[in-house]
Chain A
Amino acid sequence: MQFLYTHLLSELIFLPIIGAVIILFTSRLQRADGGEMVAPARIIAVLVTLLSLLICVPLYIGFNNNSYAMQFVENYHWIPSLHINYGLGIDGISLAMILLTNFTGFIVVLAACQAIKRKVAQYMMAFLVLQGVSVGVFAATDALLFYVFWEAMLIPMYLCIGIWGDSNRNYASIKFFLYTFLGSALMLAALLYLGMTSGSFAITSFYKLHMTMMVQVLIFLAFFLAFAVKVPMWPLHTWLPDVHTAAPAGGSVVLAALMLKMGIYGFLRFSMPITPDASQMLDWLMIILGLIAIVYIGFIAIIQKDMKRLIAYSSIAHMGFAVLACFMVYEIIAVSNNIHDAYLSLEGGVVQMISHAFNTGAMFLGVGILYDRLNTRMIKDYRGIAHRMPIFAAFFMLFCLSNVGLPGTSGFVGEFMVILSAFQAHFWVAFFAASTLILGAAYTLWMYKRVFFGAVNNEKIAEQNDINALQIFVYALLAIGVIGLGIYPDILLNMLHSAVDHILTISIQHRL
């Protein structure tokens, strides 16, 4: 038991991967009529993700909120000659992201049980691997291990888009792969440089390095490219709408809920603490890019005709908040000279990440449900869905409202915290950030109005039935997340305080 308890993180990484291997063996099974035998893959996938969720329980209970140090540490030599270790460990932010990963994995697999009818075993495999590897990204304390997981994410995602994707899947999957891969090439160079200078690839050892401004800026830019592509930040964002429209619903959910978060996670774990002086010097650039994401992308989202594309753009706008939240801290501390004033901003950014995963994930699933039935994502092809699918409409309304940032939903918490902090940085930062109140409402609710309201004028819509029990169950889980976090966000914030404090402390040191 003790062994199992001390290796919870490894279990969370490898359990899904082992599950995927087992599914591999079932993929050859055929039904009597020669069709695919899908039940074993579905059952195994659900069981594995459920088990992973259960493993999260001792992880959450055993986690000490009051310590900033990495917990559940595992450290083994991997390539001793190069001082590369298999090092895992989590702080509050990692924990939050890992809980989110496992929750999302469970949701996606459940939803896929109905949505996916072709190559089910392969699909489940891809997603189990994605889940395990994502946990690895958030748990790695060794830079090269992090890089391995980071790149390993791309393969199942690439396959998922390329195989189960839509008409534009070839262009999109290549674009996705090249963008993210080229972005991270420079990160690898930066990591190698850091590893060589510090003599170890443990990320914490990078935090002690003193580097000249020139070197810091170069490393910052190398990281920036990798993370900004993932977030994605303007002007590196154009791959995301293409990929979302081509990806199957589950792929979009994982993309929005997990992969985009890795960019922000990277800023928090690498850019800010490793190159604090460069981050401070270039914070204006990041703030401006964050605001561009909110305002510019907001306007673009309004005129989208494709639901998925609209939600993808709204994702970019919401992640702009998270970027803003990270880099605003330098301005806030410069104004008030009190590190405690910056907590609100950074924690708001993390809340925004989690909340965005819930509501955007749910919206993508919803579009998937509609697409399955009517085979179109175009807003103009829909009208009056609420007449035929009232339960679905009610759930979708809830997630839209969270997207709009209505109080009582999780979407409000992050936006509120970030806008309130932004005012301390500068009036105009707050002003442009607050414009999301109008823009977000405009694009989200205008879409809702066109799809769900109005009179039914289409025979296909007229014969639709409401969502079934499994879909209601999935949506209910997400709704609990959205409302729970909206009403009592302290439950998440308590997890974050120590980690945020630590990251802030080392991110404002001068290490020239």
Chain B
Amino acid sequence: MLSTQAIKLLSIWTILTPLIGAGIAGFLGKVIGRRATQLMTILGVLIAFIFSLILFDVIVINHSKALTFQIFNWVHSGSYQFNISLLVDHLSACMIVVVTFVSLLVHIYSIGYMAHDKSDQRFFCYMSAFTFAMLCLVLANNFLLLFFGWEGVGLVSYLLIGYWFHKESAVVGSLKAFIVNRVGDMGFILGIAAILSYYGSLNYQTVFQQTPHLLHQTITIIPGWHWSVISMIAILLFIGAMGKSAQMPLHVWLPESMEGPTPISALIHAATMVTAGVYMIARMSPIFEFSTTALSMVIILGATTCLFCGLLGLFAFDLKRVIAYSTLSQLGYMMVGVGSSAYAAGMFHLFTHAFFKALLFLAAGSVIIAMHEEQDMRKMGGLARYLPVTYICFLIGGLALAAIPPFSGFYSKDAIIEAAHLSTIPGSSYAYICVLLGAFVTAAYTFRAFFMTFHGKSRIAPELKGNVHESPLVVTVPLVLLAIASIIAGFMLVRWILYTPSQTALLGNSLFILPVHNVLKEMAQNYHGVVNMTIHGLETLPFGLAVLGIIVAWLTTMKIPQLAEGFKHRLPWLYAIFVHKYGFDEFNQIVFVRWSRALGNFLFKGIDMLFIDKLFVNGSGRVVATLSRVLRVIQSGYIYQYVFIMFIGVLVLLVWRLIT
């Protein structure tokens, strides 16, 4: 058994090794060369992964209690003290294993993917820096470090989306991602500010312990309206989560983030960063549990994102964008999970999704390498025989995503659908319908992409034909490892994470659930072992819908392509809505971008330049000039004029004397 001191050092070095790797890559990358840079960053992440495993062993396997470590005092000011401190408990220990595992594989994969980039040191630097920031976010013990990591991953995401900064679409996408995220962060920082002003501390423990005492506190934001403080805090925090986890209406940045290199789409925009919002809500369960309003908001927005962003996946032709829409939709599932108080189910889906979605992205990347940067599925088809390993891996990822038993996605998604079904939180019936339909949609778009890419007639550009071949080992080995994880993670973990009493469960005591919300406990009564669940899964409605989705995808892409065309002609308005992605981009462009520029122009030209500068500043100058011109007339220097004025003056004085 390790001593507390050893665990502290271990957790600190888990965070620091990727940072050191990033530092070496950033500062010395040009000196030591590409190969050495790749090795150093991979080594950093590998060490972090090993340390994470040790921490996982100590905390989760051996059921150690949660440990907190203070590293240093960041700000101490009057009544307040903000520390840099870490929390290692079941939840964070599990999360860091997932983060470092996926990060390690993506690092290795990138050697192959970025082989054509002559200066990929910068890329490896960013990826290791991302791992560092993500670990900070996960291991934070207070809102300060959480926010540090939160903004840190946002920054690296921004830098990586715009990695190929000569491409206009990439830099536009990166800027959009940063600013939309900042909208969420504004809510988040207000939530943190509210926490400080009501709790007097940013430490998780203090905040969680005091929450029950604040239940009846209200705040008046708009005169006449009294809002519960807990609800306000939870909703503000959720706004932050909406930005990072791309929930409607702040989802617009995620599809455009696909302009970045594919490895980071897998690491950042599928497996880790975008799930930070879900992680945060699970971490804040002691706050969210006390606000049915906030949970209701989470579940409704999550369900909406789940269904409606999923539908968009049916209309995209860019392979990566299809997967991006599926990420949005799956994040919606996770939100429904945490929103219905089944935090463990949400986290479970986060873990399985990390594996199978990273797998799908990396497989898509492998296709893109083979196709020489081509991402349009209309120019693919029949790739299965050129890329056998990629094909199998994509299929496994797709089956997991479509929740076909016994692949991992089935266990986590089934739990979420069941939780939404049983939940009593307002909006849960709506959510149940959405997630059910979502099961159909998920299977449909996944297999539409699968069939279009790997099956059917080849539509490859003739000049590429001879050049398409399977990717090198550095690419395929991570694929195979992730494929294995995508198959086994579900049935290995389902009992441990969902249906084990909390002391020995995978997530231990990290999650707090009020007894009235505890849907998982209800579900546990119907759980009779993993085999039973798997077999039972074959007779449930979600499975039926998923199979139907696959059949529909097969019909529309392979058998009767006219079906899709028919839809376009029969219901052009509906088709237009989907193609325009419900008009969010246009709306933002007009309302936010154009109006704020118009407002800026009005304030600048109308008020600053015209009113203040022209009228007052230069105006007062002109008044002085005019006045002096008038006075100059009087000061002519002619004695007779002065005498005349004196004479008039004396006369006026005399007359005035006489009258009074």
Contacts and interface: CB of A to CB of B under 8 A. Distances in A.
Given A235-B612, A407-B152, A422-B193, A438 B73 contact: no
Contact of A430 (B147, B158, B182, B190): B190
B75 A453 contact: no
A299 B600 contact: yes
A452 B148 CA distance: 26
Interface in B75-96: 75-80
A277 interface: no
Contacts of B193: 419-420, 422-423, 430, 434
Interface string A404-441: 00111000110011011011100110110011011001
B151 A406 contact: yes
A341 interface: yes
B190 A431 contact: yes
A475 to B, nearest CB: 14
B168 A454 contact: yes
Nearest to B180: A438
Nearest to B219: A427
Interface stretch (A105-113, A217-225, A264-272, A488-496): A488-496
B79 A340 contact: yes
Contacts of B147: 407, 416
Nearest to B611: A235
A14 interface: no
Contacts of A7: none
A449 B73 CA distance: 35
Contacts of A430: 190, 193
A330 to B, nearest CB: 15
Given A175-B617, A303-B601, A341 B171 contact: no
Nearest to B149: A407
Contacts of B613: 238
Interface stretch (A119-127, A197-205, A342-350, A367-375): A342-350
B74 A490 contact: yes
Given A341-B78, A342-B78, A343-B78, A453 B186 contact: no
Contacts of B625: none
Given A175-B617, A299-B599, A300-B604, A441 B182 contact: yes
Contact of B183 (A413, A424, A438): A438
Contacts of B178: 441, 445
B186 A423 contact: no
A489 B74 contact: yes
Given A420-B196, A446-B175, A490-B74, A407 B151 contact: yes
A343 B219 CA distance: 24
Given A490-B76, A493-B77, A407 B148 contact: yes
Contacts of B597: 302-303
Contact of B75 (A301, A304, A413): A413
Contacts of B259: none
Contact of B603 (A299, A417, A427, A489): A299
B85 to A, nearest CB: 14
Interface residues of A, number: 58
Residue in A434, A449, A453 with the greatest tally of chain B CB atoms within 10 Å: A453
A438 B190 contact: no
SS of B interface (majority): helix
Contact of B179 (A428, A438, A489): A438
Contacts of B585: none
A420 B195 CA distance: 9
B522 interface: no
Given A344-B80, A417-B75, A408 B148 contact: yes
A428 to B, nearest CB: 8
A387 interface: yes
A386 interface: yes
B189 A416 contact: yes
Contacts of B171: 449, 453-454
Contacts of B166: 384, 387, 453-455
A401 B152 CA distance: 11
Nearest to A182: B620
Interface string B158-175: 100010011010011011
B586 interface: no
B175 A449 contact: yes
B221 A427 contact: yes
Contacts of A441: 178-179, 182
B220 to A, nearest CB: 9
A401 B129 CA distance: 15
Contacts of B612: 235, 238
A424 B77 contact: no
B520 to A, nearest CB: 35
Nearest to B168: A454
Nearest to A171: B618
B72 interface: yes
A489 B144 CA distance: 13
B194 interface: yes
Contacts of A386: 165
B75 A343 contact: no
Interface string B586-602: 00000000001101110
Contacts of B608: 238, 300
Given A300-B604, A419-B189, A408 B75 contact: no
B449 to A, nearest CB: 31
B108 interface: no
B79 A435 contact: no
A453 B182 contact: no
A423 B74 CA distance: 20
A245 B486 CA distance: 58
B573 to A, nearest CB: 34
B192 interface: yes
A339 B148 CA distance: 28
Nearest to A501: B78
Contact of A420 (B162, B179, B192, B603): B192
B162 A453 contact: yes
A432 B347 CA distance: 34
B185 interface: yes
Contacts of B165: 384, 386, 452-454
A241 to B, nearest CB: 8
A216 B197 CA distance: 32
Contacts of A300: 600, 603-604, 608
B189 A434 contact: yes
B346 to A, nearest CB: 26
Residue in A339, A348, A493 with the greatest tally of chain B CB atoms within 10 Å: A493
Contact of A299 (B77, B185, B219, B596): B596
Interface in A301-322: 301-304
Contacts of B148: 407-408
B197 A424 contact: yes
Contacts of A81: none
A442 interface: yes
Contacts of B350: none
B105 interface: no
A338 interface: yes
Given A427-B219, A434-B189, A343 B79 contact: yes
The 8 closest A-B pairs by CB, nearest first: A343-B78, A423-B193, A340-B78, A303-B600, A407-B148, A299-B600, A453-B171, A340-B79
27 contacts: A235-B612, A239-B617, A296-B603, A300-B600, A302-B597, A303-B601, A339-B78, A340-B78, A340-B79, A341-B79, A387-B166, A407-B147, A407-B148, A412-B151, A420-B196, A422-B193, A423-B190, A427-B221, A434-B189, A437-B185, A437-B186, A453-B166, A454-B165, A490-B73, A490-B75, A493-B76, A493-B77
Given A238-B613, A449-B174, 13 more contacts: A299-B596, A300-B600, A300-B608, A302-B600, A384-B166, A406-B155, A407-B147, A424-B197, A428-B221, A434-B186, A441-B179, A449-B162, A455-B166
Interface of A: 175, 235, 238-239, 296, 299-304, 338-344, 347-348, 384, 386-387, 401, 406-408, 412-413, 416-417, 419-420, 422-424, 427-428, 430-431, 434-435, 437-438, 441-442, 445-446, 449, 452-455, 488-490, 493, 497
